């Protein structure tokens, strides 16, 4: 890597480019840790857009990451990726810097090739990213505000290190990010939410029907959440539509009466063109150079604008929404489409988009206090410390949808990101999106359904189900209970490529597990021997394949779109008690003396 055209080396130095002076400090911390301070040396304000601070050559295959929840995190060949992107419109949902895709592709926050990992350790002021073009990666940051005369700002620290195992580099990176940022520690929740059963067709009656059914099937949900479809309009969050005549307070009380946590969905940084808040408070919106509100994205067949969270009045309005919802009794807040809060544009205060976004997140977090916040459609690293859990993949789907990997709803890529971003569970509880147990109203095969249910359980992330509960068969419920018994463990993921993964899970409800996840369209054979050293050896250890419970000799065959779960077992010592029955029979009772806590 070169910084400002000079080879990377330890020490301190200055660079001057135009009216900007750069103060560099490079130290040794498991590689190179680079800090950069920028100063506007002019006697007048200067607007700073994006800055390049370095570059390095890379191999043909890269591990790349999109900035927000729905975007991909996987291995790509940049030349092939550019062909996929050709003709597609890159909007703010895909990138806060869409212009950078005109002549290259972008990896946000971190990037790796076959030997070098580079990652920024925070995103509190700027948006840091890496741009690939012509075999070169530029190291860049987007600032997006004016610097006052002689004002200084610091770019987020950059960590660069060579590695032999990518997964180990990701774990070390996750630890470094965790050390530098405030983390909210939370436990994964088990619950039901409405989206993948009803979508926008949810009503008060149908929601209450599911609530009543939940108590009958005996799943013991901790959480019951209403998703999109209740609101009068996007932005008018406290006003319900005609399908919810008794309002949000009524729903919360009903959920609480069922001994579950009331949960609710909002998109707090989004304002619809038809909402009352748009009609009366255009001053709340991010604007272009001409003072017109900027369209952040389009959805619900409407133009959606972005809340300017640097505006004190807009922040007050946000606080009123969430304090009202909390007063109704809601304790779980799924906040969605959060990327809208970070689009570039003119704001009330002279702050960067990242600073504005964090002002909005802080307001929500401070307002709801110890309630649980699930971030979704969110810029990842800027959200650390404000969310308890975070969606880390695309929307799931009742179809496999394994074609275009650009963040569209897909059962395949939702699970893929849960695997490739598993290391992020050090920053929050990973949310792989909902699981679906249903065998009807789905395009998933039985093996794909097992992937959808068991991988989130093995990774011990959030476990939210979204089915029509009265349509679940006994076999469907049995499948979900089976998956549920693989939760509570600690997992790490090994990448074979972008479609084949091995999960090593320790101390789950069902003990230690080696799981082979095949997202590809081809058969795969592997050996337990290749991974058993990653587990703690048991006395006279052996392995069984779930759910058949047949012993595994060594080789495992994994079908396309499936997961093969291998349970690690050890010898159990039994004590025998003998009794003589009156009728002359000999009865022998066997008792486990060193039971290891696993269930079979």
Quote the CA–CA distance of 40 and 335 in Å, as a whole number.
37
Positive or negative, the CA dihedral 107, 108, 113, 116 is: positive
**Helix/strand/coil for 405:** coil
Return the structure tokens found at 237.
């969050």
Give, in order, the Cα–Cα distances in Å from 345 to each of 306, 350, 407: 10, 10, 24
Return the structure tokens found at 253.
């009380």
Residue 413: CB partners within 8 Å, gap ≥ 6?
Answer: 72, 393, 394, 401, 402, 405, 407
Return the C-alpha torsion angle 65, 71, 75, 77, nearest 10: -100
Return the structure tokens found at 53.
């601070």
Helix or strand run (H / E) with residue 359: helix 353-368
| Residue tagged active-site, from 227, 336, 433, 476 | 336
Residue 354: CB partners within 8 Å, gap ≥ 6?
Answer: 123, 124, 125, 126, 127, 342, 379, 382
Q: Check if 395 is active-site.
A: yes
Quote the CA–CA distance of 126 and 120 in Å, as a whole number.
11
Residues 396 and 409 sit within 8 Å (Cβ to Cβ): yes
Tell me which residue of 103, 102, 108, 128 sits closest to 34, measured CA to CA.
128
Length of the chain, please?
600
**Helix/strand/coil for 530:** helix
Tell me which residue of 405, 404, 394, 406 sits closest to 431, measured CA to CA.
394
User: 10 Å Cβ neighbour count for 257?
Assistant: 9
| Residue tagged active-site, from 108, 227, 395, 467 | 395
Buried b (16+ CB within 10 A) or exposed e, 289-327: eeeebbbbbeeeebbbbbbbbbbeebbebbeebbeebbe
Rounded to the nearest angstrom, the gap between the alpha carbon of residue 262 and the centroid of all alpha carbons in its chain is 22
Q: Check if 336 is active-site.
A: yes
Positive or negative, the CA dihedral 501, 453, 521, 514 is: positive
Return the C-alpha torsion angle 480, 534, 388, 486, nearest 10: 10
Tell me which residue of 390, 284, 406 sits closest to 345, measured CA to CA.
284
Residue 227: CB partners within 8 Å, gap ≥ 6?
Answer: 193, 194, 195, 198, 202, 265, 334
User: 10 Å Cβ neighbour count for 500?
Assistant: 18
Sheet with 2-3, side-by-side order of all strands: 6-7, 2-3, 46-57, 136-147, 127-133, 105-108
Residues 344, 346, 348: CA angle, nearest 5 degrees: 125
Could you give the residue numbers annotated as active site? 336, 395
């Amino acid at each position: 890597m070169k910084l400002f055209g000079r080879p990377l080396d330890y020490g301190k130095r200055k660079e001057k480019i135009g009216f900007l002076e750069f103060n560099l400090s490079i130290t040794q911390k498991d590689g190179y840790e680079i800090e950069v301070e920028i100063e506007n040396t002019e006697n007048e304000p200067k607007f700073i857009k994006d800055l390049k601070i370095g570059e390095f050559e890379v191999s043909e295959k890269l591990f790349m990451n999109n900035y927000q929840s729905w975007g991909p995190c996987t291995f790509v060949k940049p030349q092939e990726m550019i062909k996929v992107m050709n003709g597609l419109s890159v909007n703010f949902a895909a990138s806060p810097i869409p212009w950078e895709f005109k002549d290259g592709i972008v990896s946000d926050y971190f990037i790796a090739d076959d030997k070098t990992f580079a990652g920024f350790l925070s995103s509190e002021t700027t948006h840091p990213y890496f741009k690939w073009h012509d075999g070169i990666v530029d190291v860049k940051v987007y600032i997006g505000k004016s610097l006052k005369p002689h004002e200084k700002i610091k770019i987020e620290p950059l960590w660069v290190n060579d590695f032999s195992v990518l997964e180990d580099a990701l774990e070390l990176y996750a630890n470094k990010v965790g050390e530098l940022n405030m983390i909210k520690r939370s436990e994964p929740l088990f619950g039901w939410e409405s989206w993948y059963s009803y979508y926008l067709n949810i009503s008060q009656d149908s929601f209450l029907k599911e609530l009543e059914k939940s108590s009958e099937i005996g799943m013991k949900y901790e959480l019951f959440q209403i998703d999109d479809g209740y609101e009068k309009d996007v932005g008018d969050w406290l006003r319900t539509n005609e399908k919810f005549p008794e309002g949000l307070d009524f729903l919360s009380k009903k959920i609480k009466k069922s001994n579950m946590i009331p949960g609710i969905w909002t998109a707090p940084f989004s304002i619809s063109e038809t909402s009352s808040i748009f009609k009366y408070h255009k001053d709340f919106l991010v604007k272009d150079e001409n003072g017109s509100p900027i369209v952040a994205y389009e959805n619900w067949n409407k133009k959606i604008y972005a809340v300017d969270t640097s505006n004190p009045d807009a922040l007050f309005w946000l606080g009123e929404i969430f304090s009202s919802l909390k007063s109704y009794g809601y304790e779980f807040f799924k906040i969605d489409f959060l990327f809208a809060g970070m689009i570039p544009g003119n704001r009330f205060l002279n702050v960067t988009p990242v600073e504005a976004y964090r002002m909005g997140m802080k307001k929500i977090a401070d307002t709801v206090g110890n309630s649980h916040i699930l971030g979704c459609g969110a810029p990842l690293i800027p959200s650390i410390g404000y969310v308890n859990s975070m969606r880390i993949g695309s929307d799931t789907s009742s179809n496999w949808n394994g074609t275009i990997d650009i963040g569209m709803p897909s059962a395949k890529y939702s699970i893929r990101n849960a695997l490739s971003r598993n290391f992020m569970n050090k920053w929050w509880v990973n949310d792989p999106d909902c699981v679906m147990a249903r065998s009807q109203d789905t395009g998933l095969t039985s093996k794909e359904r097992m992937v959808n249910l068991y991988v989130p359980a093995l990774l011990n992330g959030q476990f939210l189900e979204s089915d029509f509960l009265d349509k679940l068969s006994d076999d469907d419920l049995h499948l979900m209970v089976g998956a549920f018994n693989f939760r509570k463990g600690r997992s790490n993921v090994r990448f074979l490529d972008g479609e084949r993964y091995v999960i090593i899970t320790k101390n789950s409800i069902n003990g230690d597990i080696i799981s082979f996840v095949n997202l590809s369209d081809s058969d795969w054979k592997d050996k337990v021997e290749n991974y058993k050293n990653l587990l703690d050896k048991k006395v006279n250890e052996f392995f069984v394949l779930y759910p058949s419970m047949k012993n595994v000799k060594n080789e495992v065959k994994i079908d396309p779109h499936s997961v093969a779960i291998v349970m690690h077992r050890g010898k159990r010592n039994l004590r025998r008690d003998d009794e003589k029955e009156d009728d002359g029979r000999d009865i022998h009772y066997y008792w486990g003396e060193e039971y290891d806590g696993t269930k079979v």
